Structure 1
Amino acid sequence: MYFFDLDGTLLDSNGVWLDIDVEFLGRFGIGSVPEDYTDYVTHHGFDDSARYTRDYFRLPLTPEEIISAWREMARSAYAGQLELKPGARGFLERARASGIPRALLTSCIPSLCSAALEHHCLLPLLDRVFTAAELGLEKRDPELYRLVARLCRLEAGDCVLFDDSPVYCRAAREAGWQVYGVSDPVFDDRAEEMREVCGPGRFPFDLRSPLPLHL
C-alpha cells in the first residue's frame, strides 16, 4: 500500500509555513526566524510546535491561541492558493489504475488537510486519510507507522511511504516500512541524509516517474 505525506510531497506547501512563521513572529517584534526553531517546528506536530514556539519566544499566548493564529493564516492558502507538486495527481491516478491502495499520512492540521484535498479533488484518489493529530502520535515516532499498518491490516514491509522529510522517512524505516524520498527545497541541505535513509535509487524520487511495483 502506498502512503503519501501532504506538505512538501503531494502539495507544494512547505514555503507557506516559512512565510507564516515570519509574519506571525513579526507581530511580536521578532525580525528573523532562527534556523534551529525552523528545524524543530518542521519536524513536529502542531501541538508540540505551538508549545515550543510559546516557550522559545516567551510569547504571551497559549498553545491553543498560537495554533488558532496559524490556522487562520494558512486557511486561504490551503483552500485555494497552493499547487500540487509536479506529477502528484498523475501518480495517484496511475496507482489507482494499477490497483495499488493509497492513503494519506500527514502531520498537517486536519482542517487544512481537508481544505487542500477538497480544493484539488484528491479524495476520490485516496482510500484512507490518516492525520498525526487524530492518531495522537508524532510522525517522527516509529510507533505511528506501526499503528497505521495495524489499522490497515498490513505487514510493515508492504507499506511504502513517499515523504520529503528525512526525519519522517527514518521513523518509517525503523518501523519496517519501505520509503521513497520526494525532493523539496526546504530539505535541500539534507540530501545526503535522505539518500542514506531511503537507500539506492529511492531519492530523489520524482512523482512523474514509473510506479515502484516491487511490492
Structure 2
Amino acid sequence: MPEPTAVLFDMDGTLIDSEPVWFDTEVRLLAEFDFELGREHWEHVLGQPNEVSCKYLVGVSGIPLTWEQLNVKIEAAMVEQLSQGLEMLPGAKELLVELQVAGVPTALVSASSRQIVDACLGAIGTDFFRHTVSGDDVDRGKPDPQPYLLAAELLGVDPADCVVIEDSPIGIAAGAAAGCRVLAVPHAAVTVPGRPRVTRAASLDGVDLAYLAALS
C-alpha cells in the first residue's frame, strides 16, 4: 500500500490518556448528587459526543439537571483539569514528529467541544495539525462519518487515501464509514468489531509511517 496522503487523529484516549479523567470527573460530579457511577457505565460514555454522554448520565442517575446543565459542569471541571497538562500516550509524540518531518498532513478530529480541544492542544502541540475538527464543528458527530469527511475536505484529500487513528468503537465506526483505513488502538476492555480496512494495534508505541503505509 502507498503511504497515506493524510493521517487523521482522534484525541481523547488516542493521543492523550484523558478518557479516565473524563470518567473520574463524571463520577465525582454525580457523587455530589448521591449517585454512584459504577465502572459498568464507562462503555456507554467512552468517546461519545457530550450530548450523548450527558443525556445518558442524566437518564441513568435521575439527577435534577438537564443534560445541558450537566455538560456545563463537566466541561468546566475538565478544562480546569486539562489546563494542568496530561501526558501523551506511548508512541503518540514520536509518530506526530515523524509525520511532520515527512510532510504528511495531519488533522485532529475529536468529539469533544472546541474549548476542550483547545485546552488539550497545548499539551499535544498545535503545530502538528493543519486543521482541527471539534464536536462543535459538525452537525452529526461520531459514529457518523461527517467529522472525518470534513477533516479530509479541509486537507483537500480523498478520505480513501487517509488513515484514521482511533480508540473508541464509535470513532472506529466513523472512520470506517468515511472510507478511510483505520488503525484501532482501543482500551483493553473495548471490543473492536471486525470491519473491512480496520486494523487493531495494542498501542502507538512502534507505529511509524511504514506501519501506516502497510495497513490494508
TM-score, structure 2 as length reference: 0.85
Is 1:41–2:45 an aligned residue pair? yes
Structure 1 residues 178 and 3: CA distance shift in structure 2, 3 A: same
AA at the equivalent of 2:208:
P
Q: Which residue of 2 aligns with 1:156?
A: 159
Gap runs ≥5 in structure 2: 1-5
- The 5-angstrom pairing of residues 55-204 of structure 1 reads 55-118=59-122, 120=123, 122-183=125-186, 187-191=187-191, 193=192, 196-197=194-195, 202-204=200-202
CA separation in 2, counterparts of 1:94 and 1:214?
A: 16
Q: Cα 1:201–1:70, aligned 2, differ >3 Å: closer, same or farther?
A: closer
Aligned to 1:26: 31
Q: Which residue of 2 aligns with 1:206?
A: 204
Q: Which residue of 2 aligns with 1:51?
A: 55
Pairwise CA RMSD = 2.3
CA distance in structure 2 between the aligned counterparts of 1:32 and 1:61, rounded to whole angstroms: 16
Tell me if structure 2 keeps the 8 A contact 1:92–1:125.
yes
Aligned length in residues = 208
Within 1, Cα distance between the matches of 2:27 and 2:93? 30
Give the Cα–Cα distance (whole angstroms) in 2 for the partners of residues 134 and 87 of structure 1.
28
Inter-partner Cα distance in structure 2 for 1:129 and 1:97:
19
Separation in 2, partners of 1:165, 1:125:
22
| Structure 1 gap segments, 5+ residues each | none
Change (3 A) 1:130 1:38: same
Q: Which moved more, 1:16-25 or 1:204-213?
A: 204-213
Structure having the higher helix fraction is: 1
TM-score by length of 1: 0.86
Alignment check: 8 A CA contact 1:179 1:198 kept: no
CA distance in structure 1 between the partners assigned to 2:105 and 2:23 by the alignment: 32
Structure 2 CA distance for partners of 1:146 and 1:103, relative to 1, 3 Å: closer
